[in-house]
Structure 1
Amino acid sequence: MPPAGIVQKPNLNPVFSLWELKSPVIQGGFCRIRSRRTTTSPVVLSSSSLRVRSSSSLAQPYLRYAVLGAGFAGLSVAYHLLQHSPRGLRLCIDIYDEVGIGGGASGVSGGLLHPYSPKAKLLWRGAECWKECLNLLSIAEAVVASRDSTLGTKEFDRKFDRFIVRRRGILRPAMNMKNFSVLNDNAQNCLSSCRIESIDKNAAQNLVPNLSIPFNSAFFMPEAVNVHPQRYLQALFLACKNQVKKMSTLGFGEKELYLHKKSVNKLFDLAGEYDAVIICLGAKVDMLPELSGRLPLRTCRGVIAHLQLPDDRGEEYPDHSPSILSDAWLAVQGPRNLYMGATWEWKSRNYSPEVSAEEASKAFHELLPKVSTVYPCIKDWAFSGAKAGLRAMPPLTPNGSLPLLGCVDDFVGGNNTCKYWLFGGLGSRGLLYHGLLGKLMAQAVLSCDEKLIPSELISWKKIKQ
């Protein structure tokens, strides 16, 4: 199972100052505030909080942002807020998530990453999304490789003793003539950075021994990858922490980053504390009374089964072999560990990652026939558990099913000294979209300018419920 969330070491002298926020003003293209320091009693930070300070002057302008959610969207926004904040800007980011890093649907996703739709067509801004996502993956891997972390060495090694990104490609067997024709046509117009290669049955079986090829052809994406979402998100959080430390040390203005393992029940509870609140809660956005029932999102619960090869079985999944994408998918975790997914339960309201025995059995018997059609050896593997996530699925547009971004002050109302932003509806493609869209959202928030977000991502507000 994916590792548990990161636990931060408590600050030995955890005292910080609160600020009385006044109306925002624009300075140098970035949203700044006028503030004055107030005297407060010491505030004790929880063990899940991080604080890094520099010796910059307390008289400088100060921005406070709240990011709700610590999944793909929330951590991408947090990273890019730090990355794109101007030199000298004093910035504090509070991340709120009641479970912690990757505690929602992001942390239980399959992690099969490529820039194509099920019909192999390039997704909206697929090349840019692919590039930005690979960049964040590289950043996460680099921070682990460097061991540049505030965690103890033993704890760090225990959390990241296996892969974050598995680079073995993804294989898609053709299931019928129509499927073959669609995949073959689009293979001719694929990205050079993520090729789609048409291969025959023998070549496919060289990649995955004992593979069954129903239509004698398959399509291989050698540059596609398999990401372990929990390890990736925890490593990206470490990259945010290290960025705070580095920027503060180099004199880029005082930067602070906090992780609060608590939920926010009402947006109005944050009014007066922050210059901006960025809502990245996925399906849980509907639990906020200010937005409940007002967003064009559908919920879908997906169950993923974890399979292990019994000790008395010798047919391990070869280390060089790609993951498999078909009517169901196999995400390879190791020679004797696989994830199989995923089910689709529309309109579910079950937010729990826990899976009952009945739900697990139903999911297993639904997925196994689909996978065994292309990988018969899966019948020798043993079920060892299941996990689930509730995804927020966006509406269909002429550009495909695109996430929802934009300023939602009109929805929330109330205190206009705080701007409210939404980054939601990532659906089943959150891993691909989160890098580019997190960057665009951060730039819009820092500049207080929704026009920096592509119009197709904010058009949903014209048909809001």
Structure 2
Amino acid sequence: MLADWTSPTVVHGDCRRSRTTTSPVFMSSPSQRPLRYAVLGAGFAGLSVHSPKELHLQIDIYDEAGIGGGASGVSGGLLHPYSPKVKLLWRGAECWKECLNLVNIAEAALGSEKSNLEVGESGQTFSEFVVRRRGILRPATNMKTLNLLNDNAQNCLSSCRIEAMDKDAARNLVPDICVPLNTAFYMPDAVNIRPQRYLQGLFLACKNLAKEPASGFGEKELYLHQKSISNLLELEGGYDAVIVCVGAKADTLPELSGKLPLRTCRGIIACMELSDNIRDDYPEHGPSILSDAWLAVQGSRSLLIGSTWEWKSRNSSPYVSIDEASKALEELLPKASAIYPGIKNWRFTRARAGLRAMPPLTSNGSLPLLGCIDDLVSENSSCKYWLFGGLGARGLLYHGWLGNLMAQAVLSCNEHIIPSELTSWKNINR
């Protein structure tokens, strides 16, 4: 969302007067109308796009499911900058730092009494956490993973350490855990985020910013429209720019259908609670667990298990049928119990699902797709169209830093601000 978090320095120009992406034309001034932007999607991408304080902006967010109602709100929320397949993720340090900054902003917004009252209207309880700071533990289950994680541990970020430990040390953290190769890797600084609560916090921070008294350039207007946009050209004429952040639903827009190198993947997570007859809670300071199935700890007696991968699915509904939930449990529980046998004492309560937009694999991993998409929409358009999509399974890590870059590119009409690794899909597409 085009709200101010870090006040990046950009030069704003009127994109309507130039079809290039390199030359802004003039600065906004108090006597001119507000600059109007449409953001399609209220997930990780849509709520992370920042702007400088000095601009007078009107921002319309469109999402029929509301804040965090799509795949972003259903994700596991395990945040760290590493991968089980590669070394430190592409731009992992920058992304990690920026995401922690947004986490602090969301927590601060939700911490105020007024904000809590507003969030309460959506049915959330005030005791729900935004961030659970208990770390993440990953037992090594094969030699390839062991060697890679050892390398990561030796070259880890100072702000997100990786500590190698034997099974005895791992069991001090989680008494019932299995450590097949007698080595586990602990990230004490990694966090577990409740995605929907976090996204609500970001939105509240934006609303609070818009309510602040402004002098001169800095006035902000923010509106959330719980409606779907069936095609991009219906927004023609009303906005200086439109940013498409709708994830897997981008392919349902007629202007983009079949033109984006995205694969869809439906993922199901299972919500589990500790059975009433079991007295031993999950350790108060016990970490979440990464393995073939991840366990995102929600509290001493609740956790999430994920996730399944149903490729080429077109089902974006968050609702899971009884049959679909049963099949998901048949897949997830054996993987989870192989590392955490105690899961047999937990009972299934419900399942949730989201449809992820998975980008193509590159030499830098699976990177999101960013860039100006005027040539895909309409070359005669009077406004500019941009894409921020394909966040895939790493959206939580990538969204903050990339949202900052996206805003700078949109406000300055300069696609070259975006790293070429994120726009190279356009050349391949052509």
Q: 1:294 aligns with which of 246, 251, 259?
A: 259
Amino acid at match of 1:382: R
CA deviations over 1:279-309 (Å, ceiling 9, x no partner) = 0000000000000010000001100000011
> Normalized against structure 1, the TM-score is what?
0.85
1:193 maps to 159
Report 1:37-116 matches (<5 A): 59-77=31-49, 80-81=50-51, 84-85=52-53, 87=54, 89-116=55-82
Amino acid at match of 1:229: P
1:173 maps to 139
> Quick check: 1:368 aligned with 2:328?
no
Report 1:21-36 matches (<5 A): 23-24=16-17
1:462 maps to 427
Amino acid at match of 1:387: R
Amino acid at match of 1:24: R
Q: Is the 8 A contact 2:15 2:383 kept in 1?
A: no
Q: 2:149 aligns with which of 175, 180, 183?
A: 183
Q: Structure 2: give runs of 5+ residues left out of the alignment.
A: 1-13
User: What secondary structure sits across from 1:383 in the alignment?
Assistant: strand
CA distance in 2, matches of 1:132, 1:156: 27
Q: Is the 8 A contact 1:303 1:388 kept in 2?
A: yes
Calculate the aligned-residue CA RMSD, in Å.
Answer: 2.2
Aligned length: 415
Amino acid at match of 2:243: I
Report 1:10-409 matches (<5 A): 23-24=16-17, 59-77=31-49, 80-81=50-51, 84-85=52-53, 87=54, 89-119=55-85, 121-147=87-113, 149=115, 151=117, 155=121, 159-246=125-212, 248-409=213-374
Higher relative contact order (Cα pairs below 8 Å, separated by 6+ residues): 2
Q: 1:444 to 1:413 in 2, by over 3 A?
A: same
Q: Structure 1: give runs of 5+ residues left out of the alignment.
A: 1-20, 35-55
CA distance in 2, matches of 1:146, 1:194: 28
Amino acid at match of 2:17: P
User: What secondary structure sits across from 1:378 in the alignment?
Assistant: helix
User: What secondary structure sits across from 2:115 in the alignment?
Assistant: coil
Deviation at 1:155, TM superposition (A): 4.7
Q: Is the 8 A contact 1:91 1:254 kept in 2?
A: yes
CA distance in 2, matches of 1:69, 1:133: 19
CA distance in 1, matches of 2:78, 2:201: 18
Q: Is the 8 A contact 1:171 1:220 kept in 2?
A: yes
> Normalized against structure 2, the TM-score is what?
0.92
Amino acid at match of 1:368: L
Deviation at 1:316, TM superposition (A): 1.2
Q: 1:147 to 1:252 in 2, by over 3 A?
A: farther
Deviation at 1:23, TM superposition (A): 3.9
Choose 177-186 or 452-461, whichever is displaced more.
Answer: 177-186
User: What secondary structure sits across from 2:184 in the alignment?
Assistant: strand
Q: Is the 8 A contact 2:369 2:423 kept in 1?
A: yes
Q: Is the 8 A contact 1:60 1:90 kept in 2?
A: no
Q: Is the 8 A contact 2:87 2:151 kept in 1?
A: no
Q: Is the 8 A contact 1:23 1:33 kept in 2?
A: no
CA deviations over 1:320-352 (Å, ceiling 9, x no partner) = 000000011000001111100000011111111
CA distance in 2, matches of 1:378, 1:23: 57
CA distance in 1, matches of 2:116, 2:24: 31
Q: 1:420 aligns with which of 385, 403, 410?
A: 385
1:441 maps to 406
Deviation at 1:213, TM superposition (A): 1.1
User: What secondary structure sits across from 1:286 in the alignment?
Assistant: helix
Deviation at 1:398, TM superposition (A): 1.4
Deviation at 1:417, TM superposition (A): 1.8
CA distance in 2, matches of 1:318, 1:220: 15
